[in-house]
Amino acid sequence: MPRRYLLLLMPFDGMANGKYPDRVLAMAAMFALRALLAEGRFEQDIVVGERGLAILADGGTLNLDARGRERAAEIAKTVRLEAFRASQTDRVFDS
């Protein structure tokens, strides 16, 4: 997978391990997910992930208890798949 897609995964992989991303990373990943949404990738995890990152980018917090970390891992799995699919067509993040 191209390195530019790793930006999408970093916040969710971190949250799955109980670490909050900084606001700049959350905001950058949020906009990247919005690009996926604009391409028509409306899987629930993509929408939920974008909303969660928007909360963090606005300075809010999320619950990272065991269930919150599990949910972040689920979202990371979906985001990883969608980023891979997008990288195959490279329509979302043209260089």
Residue 48 lies in a domain: yes
Q: How confident is the model at residue 82 (pLDDT cuts 50, 70, 90)?
A: confident
Yes or no: say if 40 and 82 are a contact pair by the CB < 8 Å rule: no
- For 51-62, what is the mean pLDDT? 93
User: Into how many domains does the chain fold?
Assistant: 1
Residue 2 lies in a domain: no
C-alpha pair distances (Å), 21 with each of 8, 35, 41: 12, 20, 23
Q: Look at residues 43, 27, 25 and name the one whose alpha carbon lies nearest to residue 80.
A: 43
Q: Look at residues 60, 62, 58, 59 and name the one whose alpha carbon lies nearest to residue 48.
A: 62
Which residue range is the domain that position 63 belongs to? Answer: 8-89
- What is the predicted pLDDT for the residue at 1? 53
Q: How confident is the model at residue 40 (pLDDT cuts 50, 70, 90)?
A: confident
Q: How confident is the model at residue 5 (pLDDT cuts 50, 70, 90)?
A: low
Residue 33 lies in a domain: yes
Residue 84 has pLDDT above 90, yes or no: no
Residue 94 lies in a domain: no
Residue 95 lies in a domain: no
- For 15-39, what is the mean pLDDT? 89
